Structure 1
Amino acid sequence: MDLSQAIECASAFVFPGFLADDASLAAERSKNEEALAVLRDAWSSAEPGHEPFGYDLIMSLADRNRDVCDRYGIGRLRDASSPNLARKLSEADLVRACATLQHRPVEQVAALAGQGAADLNVAYVDAPVSGMVMGIDIETTDRDPARGYIINVGLEFMTIEPDAKPHDAHAAYFGLPQMYEQKGVPLADIHKIQWSDVEGKQPFRENKAIQKAILTAMCAYPYMAHNAAFEDSWFMLHVDGYAEARRAGRVLPIDTRDICRRIDPEVRTLPRDSRPASLENWARRRGTLAAGESERHLGLDDVDLMLATVLAEFSERNMLE
Structure 2
Amino acid sequence: MWSAAMPKDADGHAIDWNWVRTLDLAGGVSCASDADLEAGAASDPHDLIARDYAVRDRLEPIIAQCSTAFMTDFDRIIASYRLPRALAYANRRLNDELALLIARGVAEGRWTVTEERRRRATVPVLHATDGNDAALADIQDRSADVANARADRRGRQREQERAGRRDMMRANLGSATSQAGSAMLFGDDKPTRSATSQSSQPEKSAQDVANARLRDYRRPDWRDAYLPGRDVDAVMGIDIETTGIDPARVYVIDVGFEFMNMNSPSPAQTSAYQYEQDYYEAGDAYGQSRLAFGVPARAARLGNEFIRELTGIDVRERGPESGLRLFDEWPAAQQGLLRRLEAQPYVAHNAAFEHGFFMLNVAGYAESYRAGNITIIDTMPMSKRWDPGSAPSEEHPYGDNKLDSYAKRQGALDAEHHERHLGLEDAHVMLVAMKHHLGVLRAEGRGPWGSDGKGGVGGKRCGRRW
Which interval holds the TM-score relative to the shorter structure?
A: 0.7 to 0.9
Instruction: Please say if 1:38 is aligned against 2:65.
Output: yes
Instruction: Please say if 1:262 is aligned against 2:385.
Output: yes
Deviations 1:59-99 (A, max 9, x none): 1111111111010018978544596xxx9xxxxxxxxxxxx
Specify the alignment match of 1:189 in structure 2. Answer: 309
Instruction: Please say if 1:11 is aligned against 2:12.
Output: no
Distance 1:67 1:309, change over 3 A: same
Deviations 1:168-215 (A, max 9, x none): 111011010112333214632322211336622000011111110111
Distance 1:207 1:119, change over 3 A: closer
Specify the alignment match of 2:180 in structure 1. Answer: none
Cα distance, 1:130 vs structure 2: 3.4
Please tell me the residue identity of whatever aligns with 2:411.
G
Query: How large is the RMSD of aligned CA atoms in angstroms?
Result: 3.1
Aligned equivalent of 1:204, options 327, 334, 349: 327
Distance 1:10 1:130, change over 3 A: same
Q: Distance in 2 between matches of 1:163 and 1:311?
A: 12
Cα distance, 1:120 vs structure 2: 6.0
Specify the alignment match of 1:95 in structure 2. Answer: none
SS in 1 for 2:76: coil
Aligned equivalent of 2:416, options 292, 296, 318: 292
Q: Distance in 2 between matches of 1:36 and 1:288?
A: 38
Q: Distance in 2 between matches of 1:312 and 1:11?
A: 52
Q: Distance in 1 between matches of 2:235 and 2:223?
A: 24
Contact 1:6 1:35 in 2 (8 A): no
Cα distance, 1:7 vs structure 2: 3.2
Aligned equivalent of 1:303, options 412, 427, 439: 427
TM-score, normalization by structure 2: 0.56
Contact 2:99 2:302 in 1 (8 A): no
Q: Distance in 1 between matches of 2:308 and 2:21?
A: 34
Q: Distance in 1 between matches of 2:387 and 2:430?
A: 14
Q: Distance in 1 between matches of 2:236 and 2:223?
A: 26
Q: Distance in 2 between matches of 1:40 and 1:8?
A: 21
Q: Distance in 2 between matches of 1:245 and 1:223?
A: 14
Deviations 1:90-142 (A, max 9, x none): xxxxxxxxxxxxxxxxxxxxxxxxx9669969x97xx7443110110000011
Q: How many positions carry a matched residue from both structures? A: 287
Specify the alignment match of 1:93 in structure 2. Answer: none
Query: Gaps (5+ residues) in structure 2?
Result: 1-6, 33-44, 103-114, 116-120, 124-142, 152-218, 267-283, 450-466
Please tell me the residue identity of whatever aligns with 1:251.
I
Aligned equivalent of 1:25, options 52, 55, 64: 52
Specify the alignment match of 1:172 in structure 2. Answer: 291
Aligned equivalent of 2:247, options 142, 145, 158: 145
Cα distance, 1:38 vs structure 2: 3.4
Please tell me the residue identity of whatever aligns with 1:287.
G
Q: Distance in 2 between matches of 1:249 and 1:167?
A: 26
TM-score, normalization by structure 1: 0.79
Bigger RCO (CA 8 Å, 6+ sep): 1
Aligned-pair identity (%): 30
SS in 1 for 2:295: coil
Tell me whether 264-273 or 287-296 shows the greater mean CA deviation.
264-273
Specify the alignment match of 2:261 in structure 1. Answer: 159
Cα distance, 1:269 vs structure 2: 5.3
SS in 1 for 2:234: strand
Tell me whether 305-314 or 70-79 shows the greater mean CA deviation.
70-79
Specify the alignment match of 1:216 in structure 2. Answer: 339
Cα distance, 1:312 vs structure 2: 1.4
Cα distance, 1:161 vs structure 2: 2.2
Instruction: Please say if 1:232 is aligned against 2:355.
Output: yes
Q: Distance in 2 between matches of 1:236 and 1:270?
A: 35
Distance 1:48 1:155, change over 3 A: farther
Query: Gaps (5+ residues) in structure 1?
Result: 88-114
Q: Distance in 2 between matches of 1:266 and 1:223?
A: 25
Please tell me the residue identity of whatever aligns with 1:156.
E
Larger Rg belongs to: 2
Specify the alignment match of 2:74 in structure 1. Answer: 47
Q: Distance in 2 between matches of 1:221 and 1:162?
A: 14
Distance 1:295 1:163, change over 3 A: farther
Please tell me the residue identity of whatever aligns with 1:160.
M
SS in 2 for 1:317: helix
SS in 2 for 1:170: strand
SS in 2 for 1:135: strand
Q: Structure 1 residue runs of 4+, over 4 Å off?
A: 74-78, 80-83, 115-121
SS in 1 for 2:53: helix
